[in-house]
Amino acid sequence: MENIFRSDLFAGKTVLVTGGGSGIGLAIARNFGTLGARVVIAARDQERLIEAGQSLREAGIDAIELAVNIRDNDSVADLIEQLELQGIGIDVLVNNAGGQFAAPALDLSANGFRSVVDLNLTGTFLMCQAFARHCMNRKLPGCIINIVLCQANGLPGMAHAGAAREGVVNLTRTLAWEWSNLGIRVNAVAPGTIKTEALDQYDPVALQEGIDKLLIKRMGLPEEVAQSVAYLASPAAGFITGTCLALDGGEHLTGASPQR
């Protein structure tokens, strides 16, 4: 996919992408790297992360891998501490790590519901808070982009994820208010169905039914998400905060297809 941005747009900037070792997160990291940024990719699976980091370096990108479990406050604090010890300042945080499983609401155990809220909502909050403190320490502005899900019309078959991600959209607005005085812009991107390996765990028939309902009848590409995120982090979006950009072929109008 053609990159519409200037190749030195993020020169001198460092971007931290959670879940940057795979799928959409890796595409986001690669895109920022291609536009001149140093990228830090962070997730749990070290083997996958190192492989992803190597692929970025082979493409000439300055990339660093670090471990984090965003559900664990100590792990999040440790990530930021390691960066600060190495003298690495983060300018842009992309909260991409997340996920869920499909299950009817009546079948969800309390622990299953809690684990998805914990990952997607609490984990995102912990990363945002640690980043805002990091910006305060540096006395520099910052930018947060939260990757959510298209959940505007409800998310049948994924009640936990819909609730958690709607929570992140509201959190995005609230943090935009609270941290405006720190010069931190906070926005979200809500992708619809995006072609990544992670989709293998969903019912292909249900996915196709969703695509058939769309106004733009195809899956989105990770690179399309990456370019939207780059736009929101760029000076061109300097007047934008507290928004959620739908990147979903119209799914926010047509409604989600029930997952089974």
Ligand X SMILES: NC(=O)C1=CN([C@@H]2O[C@H](COP(=O)(O)OP(=O)(O)OC[C@H]3O[C@@H](n4cnc5c(N)ncnc54)[C@H](OP(=O)(O)O)[C@@H]3O)[C@@H](O)[C@H]2O)C=CC1
Which residues bind to ligand X, rule: CB under 6 A? 18-19, 21-25, 43-45, 48, 68-71, 96-99, 119, 123, 147, 149, 191, 193-194, 196, 198-199
Shortest Å, Cβ 27 to ligand TC6? 13
* Window 126-155: contact mask with ligand TC6 (x via CB under 6 A): -----------------------x------
Dihedral pair phi/psi, residue 22, rounded to 5°: -155, 165
Residue 118: CB minimum distance to ligand TC6, A: 7
Binds 113, which of ligand TC6, ligand X, none (CB < 5 to 8 A, cut-off by type)?
none
> β-strands 38-43, 244-247: how paired?
unpaired
Instruction: Report the distance separating Cα 223 and Cα 248, nearest Å.
Output: 13
CA distance 182 to 28: 25
Query: Is the separation of the CB atoms in 38 and 87 below 8 Å?
Result: no
Cα angle 143, 149, 151 (rounded to 5 degrees) comes to 120
Binding mask 82-121 for ligand TC6 (x = CB under 6 A): -----------------xxx-x-----x-xx--xx--x--
Closest CB to ligand X among residues 67, 182? 67
With CA atoms as reference, report the closest residue to 95 among 229, 251, 235: 229
Residue 109, binding choice from ligand TC6, ligand X, none, Cβ under 5 to 8 Å by partner class: ligand TC6
Report d(CA 144, CA 94) in Å as an integer: 6
Chain residues binding ligand TC6 by CB under 6 A are: 99-101, 103, 109, 111-112, 115-116, 119, 149, 193, 198, 202, 259
